[in-house]
Chain A
Amino acid sequence: MDCERKSEFEQIKVSDKLDAVIKMTIEKARHDANKIRIKRNISNIIGTIAASFVIFILSINISPAFAESVQGLPIVSSLSNALLFHYDKNIANAEKQNVKITQVDKGINITIDNIVSDDKDLFILYTLDGQLSKDNVKNLLLENFTLKDENNNILLDSKDYKSPILSEEVEGKAGDYIMLSNKQYKCIVSSLGNSLDSFSKDKKTFGSIELISVSDSSKIPNEINIDISSLTEAYNTKLPNQNSSNFTSKFNREPFSIEGKWNFNVKIDKSLKSKKPEEFSNIKFEANNTDFNLEYLKIYPTHIDVRVKLGENKLDKSECWSIGRKLGTDKGEFPYLIDELGNKYLISGNILANIDSNKCINLSFGSCYFNKNKELYLVISQLQYMPGPPFVAIDPIKVRIK
């Protein structure tokens, strides 16, 4: 029986076109694979460069007006100022968790004052007090630290990738900054309280550590361990206004580091963390002959999650794969949210989000949660298509969310 069936199977005539079909298919697959590889390489390059700029994350946090005004403010208002620095518009309504834990080492008090958190972002507000230090410190900045979850898994380490470039908005403004990133998180350490010029007055300063989840798999944990192992007088970065050579020329010596152990364990208030977002969904709009559907927009305390389904151009059938992406310091062509008062909420989190298998893109923006605004719009002024040029500039469209 088997022989007969096998024989019958063997007798199936193989199509004369088989070789041609295989050859053509392999050629197409090779071409497509090359295209995908090139696209991936470009994405990697973009990622590397973009990680250097990190302008968008900073831009949501930086109010130039505040940056200027923050200098010289008394320490007592540091927390309010730090929150104002981040929330910018409506500090009175921002809900923060009081922590007030102080650790002392080498005559330096570090206090974790407050945290503000949701599932994606965590602000840790701290003060540094060098009054008891025997060293004649000229300034205090966080230098080496790790942020760990409740199981001591490292979320972010100060040895992670450090951006060598600051955005235009921050350049020349008061404050010292470190921008760190790894695959799961980004972190901005903003030392806001005093500069080299003003620290000597009261030997105190303050700032914030912002931890931002940039991947779907990373969350802000229920507990956070903050292990600080050194402070420095000046960051040794290539940033124009934060170069340690400024310190050297001013004080005729190299800035020194103060090594010590300041460890904190902070349980994150679940009620704050699990705040229900204000949600909007299924808002359809059209731009450049392409249909889009804003599947949802969720306003959380520290960020806004947006998911947009991208369609294809009805004229040339090219597929839209992004609603704005550009290298360099010009952020004007990225999508942003804007309220009725003209307050802008710019892209944060992962700025390189890729289109997923459902042809959707997930983006994260700064939050207007505490602002109680009546209107909110999504503004898009650039689209990307495949195949097509790097981007298509369009007349900015304003999609009303609420």
Chain B
Amino acid sequence: MRDMETLVKMAQKGDTEAFTDLISLYKENLYKIAFVYLKNEQDALDIISDTVYKAYMNIKKINNPSFFKTWITRILINSATDKLKDNKNIIYIDDYQKLDNFNDSEEETDIDTSFDLFNAVDKLDIKFKNIIILKYFQDMTISEISTLLAIPEGTVKVYLHRGLKKLKLDLVEECV
């Protein structure tokens, strides 16, 4: 199979076969991310369909083909987020502005590593969930997450910290 950047360039010229190959490279990973968000097969497939459709219609907008994976992941996350909103599964938290004085050094956490993060993450607010999924299921760096979600690195760190803290609290409660 041709390399990803070549496929992107060919797909941008309208080569549907190249686009199909491109999607094949990432389809399983995308499905799994969708599943982590939606927790059921049908919704995950809906999100995949939505993502693939948007990607096909907008692939010409990618300036740098090497960012394809980041770009399509962002489409997927946005679609998943919208779907969750539609499902009214979100509880909005408005106190992020209060985190201005957050100290970056608090990023390091000694949260217990033995819990089942996969299930617990589902209870998180969407903003935390995005970061946790990208960080721990996609192995992305803070910088990559920042680029993908178009939010500052500092904010990513804050969300990561808060997300992990909430996970810890939730798990402690469950244990009790």
**What residues of chain A have their CB less than 8 Å away from a CB belonging to chain B?**
1-2, 4-6, 8-10, 12, 14-15, 17-19, 21-26, 28-30, 32-33
A5 and B48 contacting across the interface, CB-CB below 8 Å? no
Q: Does B143 contact A (CB under 8 A)?
A: no
11 CB-based A-B contacts, threshold 8 Å:
A1-B114, A1-B117, A9-B137, A18-B48, A23-B20, A25-B48, A25-B49, A25-B52, A26-B56, A32-B57, A33-B14
The minimal Cβ–Cβ distance linking B117 to chain A, given in whole angstroms, is: 5
The minimal Cβ–Cβ distance linking B12 to chain A, given in whole angstroms, is: 12
B113 and A1 contacting across the interface, CB-CB below 8 Å? yes
Classify the interface of chain B: helix, strand, loop or mixed. helix
A21 and B45 contacting across the interface, CB-CB below 8 Å? yes
Cα distance, A330 to B39, chains bound together (Å) = 59
Q: Does B139 contact A (CB under 8 A)?
A: yes
A33 and B57 contacting across the interface, CB-CB below 8 Å? yes
Q: Does B68 contact A (CB under 8 A)?
A: no
B27 and A5 contacting across the interface, CB-CB below 8 Å? no
Cα distance, A23 to B19, chains bound together (Å) = 11
**What residues of chain B have their CB less than 8 Å away from a CB belonging to chain A?**
14, 16, 19-20, 23, 27-28, 31-32, 35-36, 41, 44-45, 48-49, 52-53, 56-57, 113-114, 116-118, 136-137, 139
Contacts A28-B53, A30-B56, A33-B56: A18 and B45 contacting too (C-beta < 8 A)? yes
The minimal Cβ–Cβ distance linking A26 to chain B, given in whole angstroms, is: 6
Nearest B residue to A15 by beta-carbon distance?
A: B41
B45 and A17 contacting across the interface, CB-CB below 8 Å? yes
Query: B16 is contacted by which of A1, A4, A26 (Cβ under 8 Å)?
Result: A26
Starting from the known contacts A18-B27, A19-B27, A26-B56, 17 additional A-B residue pairs (CB-CB under 8 Å) come to A1-B114, A1-B117, A5-B117, A18-B45, A21-B48, A22-B23, A22-B52, A25-B48, A25-B52, A25-B53, A25-B56, A26-B52, A29-B53, A30-B16, A32-B57, A33-B14, A33-B56
Nearest A residue to B41 by beta-carbon distance?
A: A15
Residues of B within 8 A of A10 (CB): 32
Nearest A residue to B136 by beta-carbon distance?
A: A5
Contacts A25-B53, A30-B56: A8 and B139 contacting too (C-beta < 8 A)? no
